[in-house]
Chains A and B, each alone.
Chain A
Amino acid sequence: MSDAEKGAYRRDAASAIKDHCLQGGLQKIQNRYGRGAMRCWAEMADGGLRDRVKESRIKTLENLDVVLSLLAEKIEEAGGQVYYARTAEDAADYCRRVARKNEVKSVVKGKSMTSAEIGLDVVLEEEDIEVTETDLGEFIIQLGEDRPSHSIAPCIHLDRQRIGRLFQEKLGIPYSDDPPELTRAARRVLRPKMVAADMGITGCNFAVAETGKISLVSNEGNIGMCTTMPRIHLALMGIERVAPTMSDHRGMLQLLTKGAALQKLSTYVSFLGGPRQANDPDGPEEFHLVMIDNGRSRILADKEFREVLACLRCGACLNICPVYGKIGGHAYNSPYAGPIGAVVTPLLFGINRYADLCKGESLCGACLDICPVKIDLPRLLLALRHKLAYGDPAWQTRKHKPLEALAFRFWRFCIASGTLYRLGRRCAGIVQKPFIAKTGMIKKMAGPASAWTHDRDLRPLAKESFSKRWKKRYARAAQKKTSEVDHG
């Protein structure tokens, strides 16, 4: 989304609201997982876990350089290779070099949002490499040349009928909308790909510095195959996704699986880090870990925003946000959607460019309540809006709406004086008169306020404000009453 595509968020949101299939999916996931996660937190025996994990996350972030260098050391000790990528291009280019050097013809991928962040698929396609997504949801997205709309459930915008037709068309199988049947069909395609691939590329849920392993959480079993069958395993991690110790990792994992899917534990948790050792029955010949910065160190350096890097990427905030619940993931135009995406996307890819994400929320606070590590997303959204209000060279941010800024300066001028404020109110009272319909409500307004009356009416200003009524009716009585009580 560039500045030229101003209004894309509103436009995409509006069309999402009309998509019945998407609305059905969103309702289901929010009713089950959003409400469910809130119940999980309320009923959790270890009530202090969330605060402890948050504390550990913040501490890790404050010592990130040390923790990452320990992680790198441990992985290299085990024969793995670590690359620190400053930018998305840098990271994608490293993947390209590894693929070229090893004459990679086919890649199987595990679900990874960082892969989308660095635009990896395009780069691999340029190299004529066959890329196959192996996570079922991501596989469906790839087949449909679609985009994921939820960080955990990427094809929440599709129902099984649509998926059935897609499989029929793309895989040449008879139509079915039976989920087990469709899953078997996907499996028949995916299994040989995983067996034959030259390279497996995965994300990284978390890395553990003291053991030099990354952890991958999955329910489908594709991760095990992607990381052990191909000759090369390359994992992409955002630099913040690390725990110093296994003990820190345990809490993070618990909260991740609960927040994401109400699970005590996912079906699989794989710990990987390094090529196959002499006595290993299987495993890759090469292991690469790409640590991706791509703007994260700038977030880390800013105390106001640092907290957002504590995110576990569980997606729980998507499952409760009433805005996401209406517009789904595509309108965010980013690998990161929902409340967390509305904060992380502008910080990573440009505050002005993604201004609509900063402003397009109602600040209801449900995301803060559901976040397993209690990231104050409403506060962060306000901080982003603050940058947009005045501009900030440190974030290369320009004043977003000079006219709006002017309007608020005028507003300040008015509210600074009771007299002016009351005068303004009186003027508005006169101006509104022709707009009041027979019902007593305003049905149509002019200027920016017309956005309100597009779908809603508005109660007009009262003939007499409270301050006037007070003066007339209460002031004397109250005085009398007060003195009565005072002396009574």
Chain B
Amino acid sequence: MHTKVTLFVQCLVDSIYPQAAEAMVEVLRRLKVPVEYPADQTCCGQPAYNAGYQREARAAARRFVRIFESAEAIVCPSGSCVHMVRHHYPELFAGESIDYRMRVKAIGNRCFEFSEYLTEVLGVVNIGAFFPARVTYHDSCQLLRGLGIAEQPRKLLGHVEGLELLEMRDSDVCCGFGGTFSIGYPEISTAMVDEKIDNIVATGAEYVTGCDVGCLMNIEGRLSRREQAVKVIHIAEILASGGELR
């Protein structure tokens, strides 16, 4: 049987896109993976860390370590949060005892982004999903450059029945979200997301998908303001669509 998965649900997903986490649960259950969710989790500390507030980020990280330390496999529907835990936590705790640093590193190694977990840990690419639509995929920065995940989600999408994957131009270019950057420097952020949206629309896709809700929220916000019909959907929702496991 599979290792039990402990859900690490990004705060944005928890509050704004809960359907992405539900879909993730659905997929894991179809694959007969036992799932648990520590209800006391809050935030991994990424917003504070990216804004320079390392003390505050460290407090969040310490809490995360406490809650997730006993987990066998931590799975998260957001690449940037996994990048935070896997790569930035060791930096945050550089001044700690060797023992604590080892524990932090070990947690990072047990923490997986959703599409990564499916393809690399479970070795599954075909979930038996059915999603008859034209879809384009956005490569989120921390997912792509931080975790090196590009092929995994594409493989999963490639096995979805009825789905036509249309690659957009410059799918690997930042959408302009960048956390507090989008609020601190909205003119620049908007110029960036506008280019992203032009590229999305040019594919003729009905949906844009990705593995990080931060980017998707940004893209959706601008799509909506520009009154574009393209819909935003988290990859887990596509994978959870249609039918039973075949």
**Complex Cα spacing A459 to B29, Å:** 28
Interface members, chain B 176-192 (any A CB < 8 Å): 176-192
What's the minimum C-beta distance from B85 to chain A, rounded to whole angstroms? 15
Please give, as numbers and ranges, the residues of chain B lying within 8 Å of A415 by CB-CB distance: 42-43, 45, 59-60, 63
Which of A17, A388, A449 has the largest number of chain B CB atoms within 10 A? A17
Asked whether, in the complex, the Cβ of B145 is within 8 Å of the Cβ of A449, the reply is no
Please give, as numbers and ranges, the residues of chain B lying within 8 Å of A418 by CB-CB distance: 39-42
Q: Number of residues in A with C-beta < 8 Å to the partner?
A: 73
Asked whether, in the complex, the Cβ of A462 is within 8 Å of the Cβ of B15, the reply is yes
Asked whether, in the complex, the Cβ of A363 is within 8 Å of the Cβ of B141, the reply is yes
Interface SS of A by simple majority: helix
Asked whether, in the complex, the Cβ of A486 is within 8 Å of the Cβ of B34, the reply is yes
**Complex Cα spacing A451 to B185, Å:** 8
Interface SS of B by simple majority: helix
Asked whether, in the complex, the Cβ of B190 is within 8 Å of the Cβ of A455, the reply is yes
Asked whether, in the complex, the Cβ of A359 is within 8 Å of the Cβ of B184, the reply is yes
What's the minimum C-beta distance from A439 to chain B, rounded to whole angstroms? 7
Known A-B contacts A364-B174, A389-B54; A457 and B35 likewise in contact (beta carbons under 8 Å):
no
Interface-facing stretch out of B110-118, B157-165, B215-223: B215-223
Asked whether, in the complex, the Cβ of A365 is within 8 Å of the Cβ of B145, the reply is yes
Q: Number of residues in B with C-beta < 8 Å to the partner?
A: 71
What's the minimum C-beta distance from A433 to chain B, rounded to whole angstroms? 15
Please give, as numbers and ranges, the residues of chain B lying within 8 Å of A474 by CB-CB distance: 22, 25, 35, 37
Interface members, chain A 435-488 (any B CB < 8 Å): 439, 441, 443, 448-449, 451-452, 454-462, 464-467, 469-471, 474-475, 478, 481-482, 485-486
Asked whether, in the complex, the Cβ of A462 is within 8 Å of the Cβ of B16, the reply is yes
- What 4 A-B pairs are tightest by C-beta distance, nearest first? A362-B178, A385-B52, A456-B221, A364-B174
List residues of B whose CB falls within 8 A of some A CB.
Answer: 1, 4, 9, 13-19, 21-22, 25, 29, 32, 34-37, 39-43, 45, 47-56, 59-60, 63, 91, 141-142, 145-146, 173-174, 176-193, 195, 217-218, 220-222, 224-225
List residues of A whose CB falls within 8 A of some B CB.
Answer: 9-10, 13-14, 17, 322-323, 326-327, 356, 359-366, 368-369, 379, 382, 384-390, 404-405, 408-409, 411-412, 414-418, 421, 425, 428, 439, 441, 443, 448-449, 451-452, 454-462, 464-467, 469-471, 474-475, 478, 481-482, 485-486
